């Protein structure tokens, strides 16, 4: 059986789980406790020498980096989540990269400084918060405009680009990032959070954070 190593608090890990859930692929989910340093344990470093999550083991085939894992799973299932036609795939890659580099990364930096830095008793980088919020103010309108024209990022077909963006936006309430003015993003996101592929992971990201904080 496919094994997925990850954490409920890791958006890249959740992206992989969303993908596997949507594709109907059975898997064993192995939680890695980052606070306890399990990602740096020798047994995990044999799986991913970079000591990062997510990672997967598919019958002895080891792969890490969330984007690579999601593409592998979609290709294995011959799913239109990652289309075979090269121009369609290029558009998916465009929005997948945009969602990762211009949205997800900025959200994660705000989240880290507003939530996880305090949990780890580390200094909060206010400058990073300010810069990344400005970054999001610049790029949220691009996404909102696209979703105003199409049901999904690349058109009327649901793809890995949407899964990537959804996972990247998952922590925004916890990070106190307001997207209420981006009506198309809100509508798109609320609809997807009701789907089985999402609810099989959790009701919402904040639920996972509360569980982690109570340990």
Annotated catalytic residues are 10
Q: What's the rounded Cα separation, in Å, for the pair 136 and 141?
A: 9
Alpha-helix residue ranges (DSSP H) falling in 114-153 = 117-119, 126-149
Q: Round to whole Å and give the CA distance between 81 and 160.
A: 5
Quick one: 125 exposed, middle or buried, by C-beta within 10 A (0-12, 13-18, 19+)? Answer: middle
Own/partner pairs for 57-63, CB < 8 Å, 24+ apart? Answer: 57/2, 57/3, 57/5, 58/2, 58/3, 59/2
């Amino acid at each position: 059986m496919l094994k997925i190593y990850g954490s409920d608090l890791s958006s890249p890990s959740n992206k992989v789980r969303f993908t596997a859930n949507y594709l109907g692929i059975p898997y064993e989910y192995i939680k890695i406790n980052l606070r306890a340093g399990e990602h740096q344990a020798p047994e995990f470093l044999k799986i991913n020498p970079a000591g990062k999550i997510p990672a997967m083991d598919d019958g002895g085939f080891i792969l890490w980096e969330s984007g690579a894992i999601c593409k592998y799973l979609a290709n294995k299932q011959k799913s239109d989540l990652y289309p075979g036609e090269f121009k369609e795939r290029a558009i998916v890659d465009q929005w997948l990269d945009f969602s990762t580099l211009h949205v997800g990364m900025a959200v994660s930096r705000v989240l880290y400084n507003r939530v996880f830095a305090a949990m780890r008793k580390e200094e909060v980088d206010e400058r990073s918060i300010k810069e990344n919020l400005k970054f999001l103010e610049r790029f949220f309108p691009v996404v909102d405009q696209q979703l105003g024209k199409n049901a999904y990022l690349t058109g009327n077909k649901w793809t890995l680009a949407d899964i990537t963006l959804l996972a990247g936006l998952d922590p925004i309430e916890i990070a106190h990032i307001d997207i209420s003015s981006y009506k198309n993003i809100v509508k798109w996101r609320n609809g997807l959070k009701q789907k089985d592929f999402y609810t099989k992971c959790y009701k919402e990201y904040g639920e996972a954070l509360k569980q982690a904080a109570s340990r």
